[in-house]
Amino acid sequence: LSASPRVVALLLSLLGLAAAGKLLVVPVDGSHWLSMQEVVDMLTQKGHEVVVVAPEVSLQIKPSKNLVMKMYPVPFTQEEMDEVFKGSVKNLFEGGPFLERVIRQYQQAKKTSALFLATCTHLIHNKELMRYLEESKFDAILTDPVLPCGAILAEYLSLPTVNFLQQIPCGLEYQATQCPNPPSYVPRVFTDLTDRMSFLQRVKNLLFEIPNFFLCDMVFNPYAKLASELLKREVTVPDLLRQGSIWLMKLDFVLHFPKPLMPNMVLVSGVNCAYKKLNQ
């Protein structure tokens, strides 16, 4: 080392450059952003250059002095967005027979997905913003794949993807990672089953899986069409999600039933709630 101090100094300076990265963040609005924001804030504090791309109208994603935010216009107002999400929350807490709940969720999902699709479409078609993203030479993209807009951008910009999520409708994260997700073992939403099921309960669990295929077609097919137009080739949403490098899963086996995982699926726990000071 003493024989070549200039070389050591040069290597140390390069190490300093390698310690920080340039990260593009494509979040999903609502509660999904609350826990991701904490991660993004921490990355910024550690010296990483972070750019968040978000619509001008949103529930939780607001401009911050701690973050570089690239905002883009969308074709709806704050009042229209608030009305759609109030309907979603109301539906979650309403009871009723299974079929009635499925139909209600399907109708509400159409309204919500149309809102999110419009948001993604206006991002993809914003030529000035897309030119900026191309020229910025990011190292990676951090996104919530519950909606695949970030996955579309990652494929278009040829960036490695870090997915930060709890779950994706219809279990697409398991299809994308080729992770086992058998209905005979992993309980489905709305079943109120555990990971210990009798034979008839396993049959019920399988039947509850069927409506997911129709729901996913309605929600995700427009994104596949949007991605195909941008990439100039035919792609599906699972094709896009398969490019994910790391899946940071906001799960733990205290609140969730055990299930198979793949090596690049990392449990990080966490909640989708804002922190508030509670009284005694």
DSSP 28: -
Which range is least confidently modeled, 37-51, 123-137, 185-199? 185-199
Enter the CATH code of domain 19-180+226-267.
3.40.50.2000
Residue 270: pLDDT above 80?
no
- Tens digit of pLDDT for each residue in 60-107? 898 888 889 999 999 999 898 888 878 777 777 777 787 787 777 777
pLDDT at 192: 83
Contacts of 242 (CB under 8 A, 6+ apart): 176, 177
Mean pLDDT of 210-229: 85
| Average pLDDT taken over every residue of the chain | 85
- Structural domain boundaries in the chain: 19-180+226-267
CA 270/CA 76 separation, integer angstroms: 31
Q: Which helix (H) or strand (E) holds 15?
A: helix 5-19
pLDDT at 143: 97
Alpha helices, H only, 20-146: 31-45, 78-93, 98-124, 127-136
Contact yes or no for 22/48 (Cβ under 8 A): yes
Enter the pTM of the model: 0.82
pLDDT at 83: 85
Contacts of 223 (CB under 8 A, 6+ apart): 117, 120, 147, 148, 149, 152, 237
pLDDT band for position 9 (cuts 50, 70, 90): very low
